[in-house]
Structure 1
Amino acid sequence: MSVSLVGDIGGTNARFALWRDDALHAVQVFQVADYSSPEQAIGVYLDGQGIARGELQAVCLAVAGPVSGEEFRFTNSHWRINRSICCAALQVEHLLLINDFFAMALGMTHLQPHERVNVCAGEADLSRPALIIGPGTGLGVASLLRLEEGRWLAVPGEGGHVDLPVNDAREAAIRQAIAEHTGHVSADTVLSGGGLLRLYHAICSLDGHAPTLATPAAITEAALSGEPVALAVIEQFCRFLGRVAGNGVLTLGGRGGVYIVGGVVPRFSRLFLRSGFAESFADKGCMSGYFQGIPVWLVTAEFSGLLGAGVALQQALAGTSGA
């Protein structure tokens, strides 16, 4: 029985799995810092699975950044992937490199009902694009469109780097306070793990509080325990996310729904679900009515990127990839 390997590689973690029968098997997570190259980490994974070099049908690796040419260099780690070297090391003919949010978008096609939480009620129009947006190390954005015969087209972009939208004097003051330290303030500047900390310092500065929390995790923990400043930070984070997601829906005509992914929001999901996200999402003046009936989900699936890499590989081998 043919088997392929899929991977989802970030700056800190590399996730690998076998792809067989339209499903993931034997998922393992490796620390990037522990290995000199992706080929070495994959070799250790294959040895653990009892799979010899040359036995894989194909390999698909989802990587953070634009993919083109023979070589890919990771922004946040020492790893790099040379297509020819990687194929030779693994003794595989088919190597597909894809953007990580391309994979994340395709992963939405395999979600199970228990792997998403309803944020805004509605019915997805599958003839229109869906928006996938995810605060993590940075802010990822992609779109997903259903094609004929059950195929899917994912389109990654750089929507995380649009200007941060503001809607009142308070939000303008927050953006200006952040800009004094960062210069240009993109959505990614705030809607990310590091952005949570920038937002905390800006709010402390504006409101006259001495900052006492040093990490995004500490801010989240304080908010979950009811600390007022941290709660204000999380609330503002959710409102900014709503504004950016709403802009994305208008740009795409995204009545196919919105999937909120990434590692940040699920850590404070209870606060998110009762935040001003939904209000800010649809706060678009004369176009506010456009958002009626557009569903929004918070995705809790652990390995959506790996699933998407499997879908991408399956479509590529069938000659139908949109990568």
Structure 2
Amino acid sequence: MSHALIADLGGTNARFALVPIHEYTPQEVRVFACKNYESFFDAAADYIEHCSVDMDNIDAIVLAIAGPVDLPIIRFSNNPWQFTRAEVQAYFGEDKALELLNDFDAVGHCLEVLKPEDLMVIGEHSEVDSKEAAWVVGAGTGLGVACVVPQDVGPNIVLSGEGGHVDLATCNEQEDDILRFLRTRHERVSAERVLSGMGLENIYEALASRSGIERRLTAPQIGDALKAGDDPIAEAALEQFFVFLGRVIGDLVLSVESRGGVYIAGGIVPRYINEIQKSGFRNAMQEKGRMKEFVSPIPTFVVLSEYPGLMGCACYASHLVSKA
């Protein structure tokens, strides 16, 4: 059986997996700490040595990379790995189909293969037009944003960019105070400054300061406080996080009418499904003045799949082999 070798390569961890061509559930997933390997090729060799499929039965390699993939040399911000496309091709063999994707492009490609059970509807609307554009948004270490344009033949077009770095807008006094607080630290406050792991910490610290308290918790500590239920600032910070997320997504929908839906991935939101359901997320998304009726019908979903990036790589690998 023909297989694809797929990998989601970040600054901290590298996730490798196998998948049969035209199947999309990652198999034999292994997560490596990048710091334990001098190069990508060392990590790949470790995975290949211990996986169940011989390289002769691997016809495609698709790598999702946390960073630009159209540069002559691909580098990683948090580890010393670097390589060129030609080096990757030579390592796996000239006969192998190869593609390098931005990590959030890979999440965009997973929309083609997600199942209903992989998604949680947020809000009242769930009807999508599969032929219309969609947004994928993900808050984790940073804030990823990509627009997906469906295609009748071949893989969907994923329009990547740096939408996580748009200016942060505020709509009430509390949000104004948060922005002012963050401006004392940053010349410019982007959406990522509040919609990321670091962003949740920033919101917490700003709200604590607003109450006359000097305190900053890490994102895991905020999570522990939320579980304990004994820290009202943590609860307020998470609520404000979801409101900011709604505001940013509403702005994206105004930019591109995404009747294909908005899909929220990343490491943070899937941990707090009950909280986002009860939050002001949808109201904030729809609070667009005269354009409320334009934004309100757009459905929003949380992606529950554990490995959406790997699923997107698997989907793209099938297109690669079919094209060959």
Displacement after TM superposition at 1:222 (Å): 1.0
Partner residue of 1:266? 270
2:12 aligned partner, one-letter code = T
Matches within 5 A, 1:1-323: 1-23=1-23, 24-53=26-55, 55-93=57-95, 94-120=97-123, 121-149=125-153, 151-211=155-215, 213-226=216-229, 227-319=231-323
What SS class does the counterpart of residue 146 from structure 2 fall into?
strand
How far the C-alpha of 1:55 sits from its partner, in A, is 4.9
* Cα distance, 1:186 vs structure 2: 0.4
Q: Is the 8 A contact 2:4 2:58 kept in 1?
A: yes
- Matched residue SS, 2:185: helix
Q: Aligned-residue CA RMSD in angstroms? A: 1.8
Partner Cα distance (2:16, 2:94) in 1: 16
Distance in 1 (alpha carbons) for counterparts of 2:86 and 2:80: 18
Which whole-Å CA distance do the structure 1 matches of 2:194 and 2:200 have between them?
Answer: 6
Structure 1: which amino acid aligns with 2:162? Answer: E
Distance in 1 between the 2:221 and 2:271 partners? Answer: 11
Number of equivalent positions: 319
- Distance in 1 between residues matched to 2:187 and 2:234, nearest whole Å: 24
Secondary structure of 2:58's counterpart equals coil
Indicate conservation of the 8 Å contact 2:5/2:18, yes or no: yes
Structure 2, gaps ≥5 residues long: none
Seq. identity, %: 37
* More displaced 10-residue stretch of structure 1: 81-90 or 240-249: 81-90
Give the 3-state SS of the residue equivalent to 2:99 in structure 1: strand
Which secondary structure state, in structure 1, belongs to the residue aligned with residue 63 of structure 2?
A: strand
3-state SS, counterpart of residue 98 of structure 1: strand
Structure 1, unaligned stretches of length 5 or more? none
> TM-score under structure 2 normalisation?
0.93
Paired residue type of 2:138: G
Q: TM-score, normalised by structure 1?
A: 0.93
Runs of 4+ in 1 over 4 A off after TM superposition: 50-55
- Answer whether contact 1:131 1:254 (CA < 8 A) is retained: yes
For residue 306 of structure 2, give the secondary structure of its aligned residue in structure 1.
Answer: coil
How big is the shift at 1:235? 0.6
1:54–1:90 Cα contact (<8 Å) kept = no
The CA deviation at 1:247 is 0.5
Question: Cα gap change, 1:21/1:313 in structure 2, threshold over 3 Å: closer, same or farther?
Answer: closer
Residues in 2 aligned to 1:17 and 1:34: alpha-carbon distance in whole angstroms = 18
Q: Residues 65 and 100 of structure 1 are in contact (CA less than 8 Å); yes or no, is this contact kept in structure 2?
A: yes
